[in-house]
Amino acid sequence: MPWRGPDRLHNLVGLPRAAFTTLGCKVNQYETQKILESFEEAGFEVVPFDAPSDVYVINTCSVTSQAGAKSRYAVRKAARTNPEAKVVVTGCEAQMALIKGDEFEGADVVVPNPEKLATLDRFLSAFPGMKPVAEVGPAPSVLSGRTRATLKVQDGCDVFCTYCSIPYTRPGMVSRPAGDVLAEARRLADEGYHEAVLTGVLIGAYGPETGSGGASFEDLVTLLAEESGLARLRISSIEMHQVTQPIIDLARDGRVVPHFHIPLQSGDDQVLADMGRRYRRDDFIDLCRRLRVEVPDVTVTTDIMVGFPTEGVEQFESTLDLCRQVRFLKAHVFRFSPRHGTPADAWGDPVSPEEKQHRAVTLAQLTDGIGREAARRFLGRTMRVLVESKTHKDGTLEGLTDNWLTVRFHGPESLKRTLQSVRLDEEANGTLYGEWVSAERANSLRMVSVN
């Protein structure tokens, strides 16, 4: 249907509406927030993705075929919600379509990944009639009001794991200058955020060679810990060979939280080699042991792939065995799917969907049980919890400890988005239930433990 001009679709206050959704990783989430802010500053009203809007922006993901399918579903959903709206896609699935020379069905504008932050300009060049009459400046965004902000520090991957399309869709290795990251972190602290999650496609590659302005990743974290005003810094996901001694020291000293998300992918040496992963299972086990020894209260979470073309039953058993040894707090289990242009794409997909399903369920059951045990180790402790904005139906508030334990407790609404002390009393389905310890009581407990 042809575009009929701003008055046809704009809402009652006359601003064109824009809606956003993100598939995939924290880097994508960060970038969506930046795109959203550019639309807000240009005068668009930001509305939820399931509401009628004049433009829908979908930041897509191609990491698995399921992520790609969800990205395309989001495009169809937008068209259903408002058939007259314009649909803009960017992100890795959109980039993959550009690489293959395919059309992205249902999209009016496809913005290449490297130009993602210029999505507004690309959209307005295609549809100049959509430009708001006057710029209204920044408005409170639908994504604000959170306790935790994502802070992108690095982009690009040059590892080329054999199953992964990301080095093709995000090829440029870039580190943000440390001064820019610090300025953004200070702004987040001023806006009331307590925690920043430092994200990058290959965050451990942050450094002077790719534009940090001379800072190593350790320098950056130290700078943020000392000068940003944020109470908590978290590293979103880091490759195991990039968890260096200085990074471990930062966690031991409390400059980043004692929680590491380290992708494992497989616990079998041959599969790891076939995947192009640059470590062996014993290296991974040793690293997790060292973390436990050196960093008080540390927890480790991970990603594991099942059904890689060379993963047989024996290799899968090796992964189960590693999980029993390492005892992850949480594991994200996902299934291999061939990605266009990757080496593994040429190896076919010999593990049947039923077998992949069986392995995924078996692994998830094992890691869920282990994760519950890992959480129960903290029962009886009083821990610092960053309280989220939601209230559960049973009236409990929910939050996360520094080391990524999910905690629920009863307390006044005024505790939302603040750091509180909670004594952990019970565990159910991996969630810890506890009792709020008021600030005065927490202080007296601290004095008792010091004495």
Rule CB under 6 A: which residues touch ligand SF4?
157, 159-161, 164, 166-167, 201-202, 239
Closest distance to ligand SF4 from the beta carbon of 198 (Å): 16
Closest distance to ligand SF4 from the beta carbon of 179 (Å): 26
Q: At which residue do the structure tokens 């306790």 appear?
A: 147
Nearer to ligand SF4 by Cβ, of 61 and 178: the residue is 61
How many other CB atoms are there within 10 angstroms of residue 344's CB atom? Answer: 21
Question: Quick one: CA torsion of 120, 123, 125, 130, rounded to 10 degrees?
Answer: -90
Nearer to ligand SF4 by Cβ, of 120 and 157: the residue is 157
Closest distance to ligand SF4 from the beta carbon of 157 (Å): 3
Nearer to ligand SF4 by Cβ, of 91 and 167: the residue is 167
Nearer to ligand SF4 by Cβ, of 46 and 240: the residue is 240
Closest distance to ligand SF4 from the beta carbon of 154 (Å): 11
Nearer to ligand SF4 by Cβ, of 147 and 162: the residue is 162
Closest distance to ligand SF4 from the beta carbon of 63 (Å): 8
Closest distance to ligand SF4 from the beta carbon of 364 (Å): 20
Closest distance to ligand SF4 from the beta carbon of 159 (Å): 4
- Alpha carbon 314 to its chain centroid, in Å, reads 32
Nearest to 26 by CA among 50, 58, 61, 57: 61
Closest distance to ligand SF4 from the beta carbon of 319 (Å): 16
The C-alpha atoms of residue 420 and residue 424 are separated, in whole angstroms, by: 12
Nearest to 122 by CA among 155, 89, 151: 89
Nearer to ligand SF4 by Cβ, of 158 and 191: the residue is 158
Buried/exposed 56-69: b ≥16 CB within 10 Å, e otherwise: bbbbbbbbbeebbe
Q: List, in sequence order, the alpha helices (H) in 10-145.
A: 26-42, 65-81, 92-100, 119-126
How far CA 422 is from CA of 250, 261, 386, 407, 433, in Å, comes to 25, 24, 10, 8, 9
Nearer to ligand SF4 by Cβ, of 236 and 406: the residue is 236
Nearer to ligand SF4 by Cβ, of 272 and 298: the residue is 272
Closest distance to ligand SF4 from the beta carbon of 382 (Å): 37
Closest distance to ligand SF4 from the beta carbon of 231 (Å): 29
Radius of gyration, alpha carbons of the chain: 23
Q: At which residue do the structure tokens 């803009």 appear?
A: 88
How many other CB atoms are there within 10 angstroms of residue 1's CB atom? Answer: 6
Nearest to 199 by CA among 159, 151, 232: 151
Q: For the chain, percent helix, then strand, then coil, each to nearest 5? A: 40, 20, 35
Nearer to ligand SF4 by Cβ, of 193 and 328: the residue is 328
Closest distance to ligand SF4 from the beta carbon of 357 (Å): 22
Nearer to ligand SF4 by Cβ, of 31 and 239: the residue is 239
Question: Quick one: CA torsion of 340, 344, 346, 351, rounded to 10 degrees?
Answer: -110
Phi/psi zone of residue 359: left (φ > 0), alpha (ψ -120 to 50 degrees), beta? alpha
Nearer to ligand SF4 by Cβ, of 159 and 360: the residue is 159
Contact 355, 309 (CB under 8 A): no
How many other CB atoms are there within 10 angstroms of residue 352's CB atom? Answer: 10
Contact 256, 250 (CB under 8 A): yes
